[in-house]
Structure 1
Amino acid sequence: MHMNAGLLNQVQPVLLSSSHISESPEPVRNMSFGVRTVQSYELDYILWGEGFVITDGELLPATGGTLFFRTPGMVVEGIRPYHCYYITCQLFGPGVEVPPEDLFPRIMLFQDPSRIEAVFARLYQESLNRQEISPFLTRTLLMDILLLMYEEWVTRERFESLPTSLREHYPVIQSLAARIRENAHREDLDLEGMARLAGYSKFFFCRIFHEVMGSPPVHYVNQCRIRHAMQLLLETRLPVQEVMQQSGYDSSSHFYRTFRDQVGCSPTVYRQRNRLWAL
């Protein structure tokens, strides 16, 4: 599938509705939620399931970690049991001509569902709050979901382009990348240590990690650490020096240089520019 970058750049998401659908302790099996025609864009993220979703006549399993992306006009029917977050939204403002091809794949299976599941949960909770700032927050969270969908698509496309001889290493690298995302700010992850965790020589590890993830391993670690630093700068009042230490850096010059290279400004300026988010 070809991703339409020009169309993605015009996305302006607006949340219409958000639901958390779950079953009783003893769910009814093989019961239909009903056949319907999709009226707006829908994101249906499966938390757990042993049922199915029929989309335009195609029977697809509803299993945990699966995301169904639907466009207006699709005919869909859900078959119990499954638990999900279900949202409807607008993706484009008036006057945008949307071509007939799908913006994203109709079905996506996330190898590491923890991140997107957390964003769906936060979006659902925020939709219940109904604060004055809620439209801004829900729009931002929708963009986070779309970004994770895009990243998952890029990762899958990269896998499909790998030579067959390298595909067997894909699960190992994905598992290590998930560990890096989770622990980069609190673990000393040097190149030799990561290669040892993966069970590869340093040279082969660098090559296969770059092939699978699209960036060298050390650069990927720094990306994860800087993202953590950005979150701390926005969500806490911690001094920048403490943010640096809690993000896995012990050198001020290295931290400031890496932050500026990735974000385009210093940590202090980043916090000032985003004062709205500060506590």
Structure 2
Amino acid sequence: MKKQWVLPAPAYAHYVCYPEFLGHYKHFPQHAERRSEGVLNSYNLHLVFEGTGYVFQEGERIPMGRGSGFLFPRGAYQQYGSDPRRPWEVRWVHFNTAISLPLLEEADQSRGYFFTFDPDAGLESIFDELFELSAVHETRSEPRFSALLYEILVTLLQNSEPLHGSVPLEIRHSIRRTADMIHKDCQRPWTLESMSRLAGYSSYHFLRLFRSIMGKTPNRYLSDCRLARAKLLLVSSDLSVAQIADQTGFHQSSYFIKVFKLAEGMPPSQYRRTFGS
């Protein structure tokens, strides 16, 4: 199977990212490319869902199987291909973007970013919607094309790791599951030690992993979750500030007011007057 679509340039010129050429290959043993520098003036993203193949980088042949992917920047030399005996099932897209994301920056700096990703992260369904829209292209679908491509890139950010990365995907999933449980029960009297036990790590190891994966410390994440719930209660309930402080884990209203004002630039009472219905 070899399906591919070329999209016309969008009528609106200010999308943050937009696909140009995309496809879905399966049982296609002839899939192989070798492009000189400067030939392809767009990013080239390939995600392998089945089969085996390879990509060359600086003379090194890098195996690419299920859950592997590669991203080449604009104008880069590219050489890759599917194993004729066990050809890839691969979803791919060429695109342009003006946004700055870590995986794009890595591709730009190294002239090729190679990674593992979680095949069960929902990327297949996002690509499939892109394919469906491409098959019956309509101008009104342009915002959706841009949004789906952005969703693919952000999903990869959260569910991928460099081939030689220091944090395996299963650990990333474990930390995110812990973060979800903390968010759900943010009113509990969490400590670093209790959050660490929930994740199954020592406090030191948990702090380092959490900060690396979530981009903030566990205590900062907990405070953000509590503030988000407090803001919702301020605008949607008649609870007093003291009651909201108690129900969101701050307990002392004076401390709650101090933290809230530092984060939002106004006390809770003013926030309620400004944004409450």
What CA distance in whole angstroms lies between the structure 2 residues aligned with 1:44 and 1:225? 39
Given that 2:130 and 2:148 are in contact with CA atoms closer than 8 Å, whether structure 1 keeps it comes out as: no
For 1:119-198, list aligned pairs within 5 A.
119=123, 121-129=125-133, 130-147=137-154, 174-180=172-178, 186=184, 190-191=190-191, 192-198=193-199
Where do 5+ consecutive residues of structure 2 fail to align? 1-13, 100-104, 238-246, 251-255, 265-270
Map of 1:60 onto structure 2:
62
**Alignment TM-score, normalising by the size of structure 2:** 0.54
Q: How many residues align?
A: 213
Deviation per CA, 1:237-268, whole angstroms, max 9, x where unpaired?
Answer: xx978xxxxxxxx64998xx98x959xxx8xx
How many angstroms does 1:223 deviate by? 6.3
Is the alpha carbon distance of 1:107 and 1:181 closer, same or farther for their aligned partners in structure 2, counting shifts above 3 Å? farther
- Tell me how far 1:126 sits from its aligned partner: 3.2
The alpha-carbon distance between structure 1 residues 172 and 32, as it changes in their structure 2 partners (threshold 3 A), is: closer
Instruction: Please give the TM-score of this superposition, normalised by the length of structure 1.
Output: 0.53
Determine which of 39, 42, 45 is the counterpart of 1:43.
Answer: 45
Cα displacement (A) at 1:89: 1.3
Change (3 A) 1:223 1:78: farther
Match for residue 77 of structure 2?
A: 74
Residues 72-107 of structure 1 deviation map (CA, whole Å, 9 limit, x = unaligned): 3523231232222111112359xxxxx9x8256623
Give the secondary structure class of the aligned counterpart of 1:72.
Answer: coil
Query: Max radius of gyration: which structure?
Result: 2
The alignment's C-alpha RMSD in Å is: 4.9
Match of 1:106 in 2: 112
* 1:184-223 pair list within 5 angstroms: 186=184, 190-191=190-191, 192-202=193-203, 204-205=204-205, 207-210=207-210, 212-213=212-213, 214-220=215-221
- Change in 2 beyond 3 A, CA 1:210/1:65: same
Is the contact made by 2:33 and 2:79 (CA closer than 8 Å) also made in structure 1? yes
Q: Distance in 2 between matches of 1:74 and 1:226?
A: 48
CA shift, 1:134, in A, is 2.2
Q: 2:25 maps to which residue?
A: 21
Residues 181, 134 of structure 1: alpha-carbon distance in 2 compared, 3 angstrom cutoff: farther
Q: Distance in 2 between matches of 1:222 and 1:120?
A: 34
Extract unaligned runs of 5+ from structure 1: 1-9, 94-98, 161-166, 234-238, 242-249, 271-279
**Paired residue secondary structure (1:102):** helix
- Give the Cα–Cα distance (whole angstroms) in 2 for the partners of residues 69 and 174 of structure 1: 21
